[in-house]
A and B are shown apart, each in its own frame.
Chain A
Amino acid sequence: MKAWIGLGLTLAVVVAALGAPWLAPHDPAHADFASGLQPPGSPGHPLGTDQLGRDLLARVLYGARLALFIGVCTVVVTAVVGGLLGLVAGFVERWPSTVLMRIADVQLSFPFILLALTINAIVGLGLRNIILSLSAAGWVVYARVVRGEVLSVKQRDYVHAAAALGVGRTRLLFRHVLPNVAPSIVVVASLQFSQFVVAEAAISFLGFGVQPPTPAWGSMLSEGRDFLYVAWWLAAFPGLALALTALGVNLLGDWLRDTLDPKLRV
């Protein structure tokens, strides 16, 4: 049941993101001062309009595009970088393992959102830099989980057997260890995804990250905050979209974990 709700919500967001150009009733950047701050249900504007008369439904749909793009990019970057570092650290042990774990300790001594926010303020605003900042703050979880898994997987008989047969280290690592660690990477990725999407929105909300007029849910919420007294819908709908996205992906992630790797705790 939970899995189906998760799948349904996630699919809905994916459809909204991919289909935004066709589903949106208007251009999300098209301003029309004459019809500003129309409430939801107004003719031609199902979710109403913002202070510049831009269609809110169009902006929420395009926001899904941006949120998913940032989420997917960040998850891929962190999974590849963190996963590879974790693989090597777990397999080689000795100094790579020690160095990686100390780096992990240091990174984990900063709250995630504060670290991502600070990095973003330093490297600068914009789409590419927000992906960079979130990745820099988020890879360490994969590294830790994968290292731990590799440490246990490489003790298994089939790995020893392969090594005894003269299989090279690289092949051993990618052919025999990696496939057995992969489920954990998938589970961590699914659990991290919504964290990244929400963190991006929070950072954009605070005035960093993606800047207006790009329709990002976070910066839309930040604009909506200024109009809370007169136009509740400006803050309500982008946030609702964000919450439903996080809910869908979380439910899907829970299901993946229960199916693939019930013991994993992140």
Chain B
Amino acid sequence: MRRYVLGRLGQTVLVVLLSLTAVFGMVRLTGDPVLLFMPMDIQAKDVNEFRQRLGFNDPLPVQYVRFLAGALHGDFGESLRYRRDALGLVLERLPATLLLAGTAMALTLSVAVPLGVLAAVRRDGLFDHVSTIATVIGQATPGFWLGLMLIYLFAVQLRWLPTGGMGGVAHLVMPTVVLAAFYAARVARLTRSAVLDALNEDYVLTARAKGLAETRVIGKHALRNSAIPIVTLAGLEAGQLLGGAVVTETIFAWPGLGRLTVQALLNRDFPVVMAAVSFTSIVYTLMNLAVDLAYGWLDPRVRVRSS
């Protein structure tokens, strides 16, 4: 197990370094980065001063090393718009995103897993059909459209919920539902098929044959053995929630990391973009690591195979 953990940790460090390189490469990809960093309406005579100030006159390797060294210390430079530390801005917005992603994840798991298990147990019954239809529709519905329609219904027409912003619990309802809808549909589908797979295994037959109550057969044997694909997907989805937050936060004016990223992109505030994208990628990579470690813990076969 220790070797497995160390191996995965090493890989993670490598991926983080390469991701930072990718962020640097992406921004330098288009030739003159000054054009990206500048406000659109800047005067031509200011361009050179800008270039000098941001260090774009130095050779590329020097810039790269400076970026990497800075990034590893959490220094991505100063926001061009707010004149403040870029990473500081990102971290300031983090709690709002974590709150939203956390409630969405909790909603996803508390709805989708029981739904998937029930659908599998009552295979081809009415409940199974209804939940299959619901999940297929859930997966096809774009979050930003669902968000707009919910705003129209619950905020504009019924006036039950606020249209956006952050405040009490009421502000959290619609963004959570929108962010969770797509993922809940995926998790429910996967849970159903994982439980169905497990129900076909010999140990379930054995458990039933020895007269175990059906709730125990499912709860103890089937569900535990179908946990691996569910944990994997839930972990990967937790990372995708960060991406999904980009759209959801914009619709509901939720002051989180996703909205900050979109605004920074629109304002061409590239130090903030680099800080936000790098930060998201690192969190995402760490989440993948956590999933893999959970994997090794849930299924001893994994750590044997990989070492």
Task: Give the interface of A toward B (CB within 8 A).
Answer: 2, 102, 105-114, 117-119, 121-123, 194, 198, 201-202, 205-208, 221, 224-225, 228-229, 232, 235-236, 239-240, 242-244, 246-247, 250-251, 254
Q: Does B240 contact A111, Cβ atoms closer than 8 Å?
A: yes
Complex interface: chain B residues within 8 A of A229 (CB): 156
Task: Give the interface of B toward A (CB within 8 A).
Answer: 11, 14-16, 18-19, 22, 26-27, 29-30, 36, 136-137, 139-145, 148-149, 151-152, 156, 239-240, 242-244, 246-247, 250-251, 261-262, 265-266, 273, 277, 280-282, 284-285, 288
Q: Does B26 contact A247, Cβ atoms closer than 8 Å?
A: no
Complex interface: chain B residues within 8 A of A114 (CB): 242-243, 246, 261, 277, 280
Q: Does B142 contact A110, Cβ atoms closer than 8 Å?
A: no
Complex interface: chain B residues within 8 A of A117 (CB): 246, 261-262, 265
Q: Which of A113, A205, A240, A243 contacts B243 (CB 8 A)?
A: A113
12 contacts between A and B (CB under 8 A): A102-B14, A106-B18, A109-B19, A111-B239, A117-B246, A118-B273, A225-B251, A228-B156, A232-B152, A239-B148, A244-B140, A251-B136
Most chain B Cβ neighbours within 10 Å, of A105, A107, A201, A240: A105
Complex interface: chain A residues within 8 A of B137 (CB): 247
Instruction: Report the Cα distance A239→B178, complex, angstroms.
Output: 14
Q: Does A106 contact B246, Cβ atoms closer than 8 Å?
A: no
Instruction: Report the Cα distance A250→B285, complex, angstroms.
Output: 28
Instruction: Report the Cα distance A194→B185, complex, angstroms.
Output: 15
Complex interface: chain B residues within 8 A of A221 (CB): 144-145, 148
Complex interface: chain A residues within 8 A of B262 (CB): 117, 206-207
Q: Does A247 contact B18, Cβ atoms closer than 8 Å?
A: no
Please name the residue on chain A nearest to B265 by beta carbon: A121
Most chain A Cβ neighbours within 10 Å, of B141, B142, B148, B149: B142
Most chain B Cβ neighbours within 10 Å, of A105, A118, A194: A118
Q: Does B247 contact A109, Cβ atoms closer than 8 Å?
A: no
Instruction: Report the Cα distance A202→B248, complex, angstroms.
Output: 10
Nearest chain B CB to A70 CB, angstrom units: 15
Known: A118-B265, A208-B265. A113 touches B151 (CB 8 A): no
Known: A111-B280, A239-B145. A106 touches B22 (CB 8 A): yes
Nearest chain A CB to B13 CB, angstrom units: 12
Complex interface: chain A residues within 8 A of B288 (CB): 108-109
Nearest chain A CB to B15 CB, angstrom units: 5
Complex interface: chain A residues within 8 A of B250 (CB): 206
Complex interface: chain A residues within 8 A of B261 (CB): 114, 117
Q: Does B148 contact A243, Cβ atoms closer than 8 Å?
A: no
Q: Does B152 contact A228, Cβ atoms closer than 8 Å?
A: yes
Please name the residue on chain B nearest to A246 by beta carbon: B140
Instruction: Report the Cα distance A259→B255, complex, angstroms.
Output: 45
Nearest chain A CB to B301 CB, angstrom units: 18
Q: Does B142 contact A109, Cβ atoms closer than 8 Å?
A: no
Q: Does B26 contact A113, Cβ atoms closer than 8 Å?
A: no
Q: Which 10 A-B pairs have the closest CB atoms?
A: A111-B243, A239-B145, A247-B140, A246-B140, A121-B265, A106-B18, A109-B285, A113-B243, A235-B148, A109-B281
Please name the residue on chain B nearest to A108 by beta carbon: B288
Complex interface: chain B residues within 8 A of A208 (CB): 265
Complex interface: chain B residues within 8 A of A121 (CB): 265-266, 273
Complex interface: chain B residues within 8 A of A236 (CB): 149, 152
Complex interface: chain A residues within 8 A of B18 (CB): 102, 105-106
Please name the residue on chain B nearest to A240 by beta carbon: B145
Known: A117-B265, A122-B29, A250-B136. A110 touches B145 (CB 8 A): no
Complex interface: chain A residues within 8 A of B30 (CB): 122-123
Complex interface: chain B residues within 8 A of A224 (CB): 148
Instruction: Report the Cα distance A118→B141, complex, angstroms.
Output: 23
Please name the residue on chain B nearest to A120 by beta carbon: B265
Complex interface: chain A residues within 8 A of B15 (CB): 102, 105-106, 109
Complex interface: chain A residues within 8 A of B239 (CB): 111
Please name the residue on chain B nearest to A232 by beta carbon: B152
Please name the residue on chain A nearest to B266 by beta carbon: A207
Complex interface: chain B residues within 8 A of A246 (CB): 139-142
Most chain B Cβ neighbours within 10 Å, of A121, A194, A228, A250: A121
Complex interface: chain A residues within 8 A of B246 (CB): 111, 113-114, 117, 206
Q: Does A110 contact B19, Cβ atoms closer than 8 Å?
A: yes
Known: A122-B26, A250-B136. A206 touches B142 (CB 8 A): no
Nearest chain B CB to A263 CB, angstrom units: 11
Q: Does B247 contact A113, Cβ atoms closer than 8 Å?
A: yes
